[in-house]
A and B are shown apart, each in its own frame.
Chain A
Amino acid sequence: MSALDLSRWQFGITTVYHFIFVPLTIGLSIIVAGLQTAWFVKKDPEYLRMTKFFGKLFLINFAVGVVTGIVQEFQFGMNWSAYSRFVGDVFGAPLAMEGLLAFFMESTFLGLWIFGWGRLSPRLHLATIWLAAIGTSLSAYFILAANSWMQHPVGYRISPVTHRAQLTSIVALLTNSTVLAAWPHVMFASFLIAGMVVIAASAWHLARGSDTALFRRAMRLGLTLTLAAGIATAATGDVQARLMDSQQPMKMAAAEALYDTSAPASFSLFTVGSLNGGKELWSVRVPYLLSLIATLNPRGTVRGINNVQRAYVKRYGPGSYKPIIPVTYWSFRLMIGFGLLVTLLALAGLWLTRRRRVPRSQWFYRAAMWGVVLPYLATTTGWIFTEMGRQPWTVFGVLRTSQSVSPGVSAGEIVTSMTVFTLLYAALAAIAGWLMIHHVKSGAPAEPEAPGADELLPVFSY
């Protein structure tokens, strides 16, 4: 494998891994802040126990998210130095802002929250978790603005002197239509994961009849959030699809493996056969749906891969502009499918737990526990689709992936780093996963004697 392929694999592995932890951090920080707010307002000790229980789960997850995040910032320079040279003037700005505006806020106030129990006034302590949560969501915005610029570059020009990209408008970069659609999509997807984690943790206890009052309440909260997040994720994804159709028509066509321009275009749920433009042996299709998704018009025209390829050759010169079609086709479908399954699961759960009901069926609990992998699969396939669908570009229409890799780094060095990261990350995943499962099983901490007796709660955390 070449240094380019190896660098791509490493970026894929480290980024997919990093994004296993990020959405739970985003979603759960807000849920914990909400629970603590409920406790602060209602003084109901059950909310305090929930805050502590999910707060600790959040912290185990947060630690891994933070440490794998440093790798993300460093590897642009380490493995993609040609990219960094070319785009640093534009791409570096949101990254630096993320550090100064978001990461400091997130980590400093989280430190205050962890160690501030009983040391800060309840009101101030509540503010620290909200500030940490806001910092987390803010960091998502900056990094998505950076990524959106790669999908749909705006607010820049190519300098005639240096031949590198140069920022011309920070406002255009931060209000890119792509990030305005991507940020809510990622935020809702984060709640899909966080909600499902709350559901799974509650299911474990409800299935055993332990702490039923508390975990039924948590279950209902998780189900409601997951259902709402599922619907909102689909709605924002729908907005993104139309933006994609106008900004990256090749990606839209590759999502559907639509080779020739069609009006109306149908949406295939499954296809058996050659995806490389050959024969389609068997498929299940929904007529008009692709036209509707891409253009809001059931008879709208959706451009095909071959047609876009011809247009791109005319515009960018000879070469192939097709991503790997089976990857884009299946990742797009699987993302939607997994997201839909989670949403249906949440809907079924809400029905089963209606009007103070506690379901007896172990099937439901088993589905709720194993279902926790579904939203993770949805976000993972979603990112694989977004990034693989942009290929062969790192910055769409501006810089190719093959021109982005570090010229001075050898394949041997990348094999070394990829091995180190993969082994380290696998070990971390095993330990963090094990800790989270055992934390869930050990249950919510005991109730303090009286509400407001939290001075008795431990101050030191490590």
Chain B
Amino acid sequence: MNLATFWFILIAVLWTGYFVLDGFDFGVGILLPFLGRDNTDRRMMINAIGPVWDGNEVWLITAGGATFAAFPLWYASMFSGFYLALLLILAALIIRGVCFEFRGKVDTDRWRRNWDRAIFIGSALPALLWGVAFANIVRGVPLNAAGVYTGNLLTLLNPYGLLGGLVTLSLFTLHGAIFLGLKTTGELRGRARAAAVRVAAVAVPLAAGFLAISQLAHGRPATDVVAALAAVALLGAVAAAFRGREGWAFAGTAVTLALAVATLFGDLWPRVLPSTTRAAYSLTVSNASSSHYTLMVMSWVAVIFTPVVLLYQGWTYWVFRKRLSRSDFPPPAAGPAAPARPAGQGRIVPGQP
């Protein structure tokens, strides 16, 4: 295996990390208006992902940086080609990122309702668009001889691309519902479990259909096996969710996402961005990659530091492993935790309500 292929795999791993981790963040954000009956519910949901969402998003930043460093031509063609789609994703991620921090800072219902709405949109839009983007990468996009994208936003919104979008949207929602079931107690946990089963009814046929179409159009025998395993993992996840085995269900959707990414990257290899204009214009692992020296330097960095990152991020999940319950969130006035504050300044909440 040459270094360029190693980096192709590493980038697939980074995207897997991003989809598995930020995937459930997106799911929780999408479910916020549906499962959060009152502010305490919604705070439970947001705090379930609170300590980890920012670290999860770094997987995207690192995937982007790694693509820039290892495959500059892929990075340049993809990011400039998907211009407006990425703009929408960026706008959504910007809004969503500040929501978590700003939502609790002012103690009025209207303030919180607006941020809740923004969290929903900021989670649903990227969840949809990442699928659209990945389906189009596998399908191929119009690239000219210089590797410049010659389509527009509508080129990406083809049926296969949109199906890919619905798959990530529904899978992330399912993944988020199962995560909530795993992280909460009481009524919210029950509602999350019921939601998981209902979302699964949509996600399973969509994902199975998408994988089948992908394999028929772009597949190869090796990835047929991986796609089949992804389907098995998804069915296993749903079965576990149905029987209330939340840990197994979460592992199941995580494995599904990982195997789905593996299927798509496997279908893609050795290309990184196929050209629908002419096969010869396609960007490949070899013609889009950086020099041997750069790949070597970056490989050492990745080999040494990726395990360290996995270790401390894993530790974070261990520290915050406890399920959240409603009693963790006393109302601001009655809570023993609410700091006393001079009268007349109660509208802004400096301490945590």
A residues at B contact (CB < 8 Å): 52-53, 56, 59-60, 62-64, 66-71, 73-74, 76-79, 81-82, 84-85, 87-93, 95-101, 103-105, 107-112, 114-116, 119-120, 159, 164, 166-168, 170, 210, 406-409, 413, 416-417, 420, 424, 428, 431-432, 435, 438-439, 441-443, 445-446, 456-462
Contacts and interface: CB of A to CB of B under 8 A. Distances in A.
7 contacts: A85-B73, A89-B291, A91-B68, A96-B69, A99-B58, A105-B312, A461-B352
Measured as residues with beta carbon below 8 angstroms from the partner, the interface class of chain B is: 35 or more
B80 A101 contact: no
B51 A114 contact: yes
Nearest to A72: B61
A104 B58 contact: yes
Given A66-B97, A462-B103, A90 B294 contact: yes
Contacts of A67: 93-94, 97-98
Contacts of A108: 54-55, 58, 309, 312-313, 316
Contacts of A71: 90, 94
A460 B105 contact: no
B82 to A, nearest CB: 8
A416 B84 contact: yes
B208 interface: no
Interface of B: 43, 46-47, 50-55, 57-58, 60-62, 64-66, 68-73, 75-81, 83-84, 86-87, 90-91, 93-95, 97-98, 100-106, 146-150, 290-291, 293-294, 297-298, 301-302, 305-306, 309, 312-313, 316, 319-320, 324, 328-329, 335-342, 345, 348, 350-352
Given A96-B66, A100-B305, A88 B337 contact: no
A257 B68 CA distance: 37
A88 B301 contact: no
A407 B148 contact: yes
A56 B46 CA distance: 18
Contacts of B339: 445-446
Contacts of A120: 319
A89 B294 contact: yes
B108 to A, nearest CB: 13
A424 B87 contact: no
Contact of A92 (B55, B75, B100, B348): B75
Contact of B68 (A77, A409, A446): A77
B337 A420 contact: no
B17 to A, nearest CB: 10
Q: Which 8 A-B pairs have the closest CB atoms?
A: A88-B72, A77-B79, A92-B69, A99-B62, A92-B68, A81-B80, A63-B101, A81-B76
Contacts of A52: 351
Nearest to B338: A458
A318 B351 CA distance: 63
A435 B306 contact: no
If over half of A's interface residues share one DSSP class (helix, strand or loop), that class is named, otherwise mixed; here it is: helix
A64 B351 CA distance: 20
Contacts of A443: 341-342, 345, 350
B64 A74 contact: yes
A164 B291 CA distance: 10
A159 B292 CA distance: 12
Contacts of B328: 459-460
A460 B329 contact: yes
A103 B62 contact: yes
B86 A167 contact: no
A100 B306 contact: yes
B50 A461 contact: yes
Nearest to B79: A77
Contacts of B94: 67-68, 70-71, 424, 428
**Interface-central residue, A70, A120, A462, by most chain B CB under 10 Å:** A462
A98 B76 contact: no
Contacts of A168: 293
Nearest to B293: A167
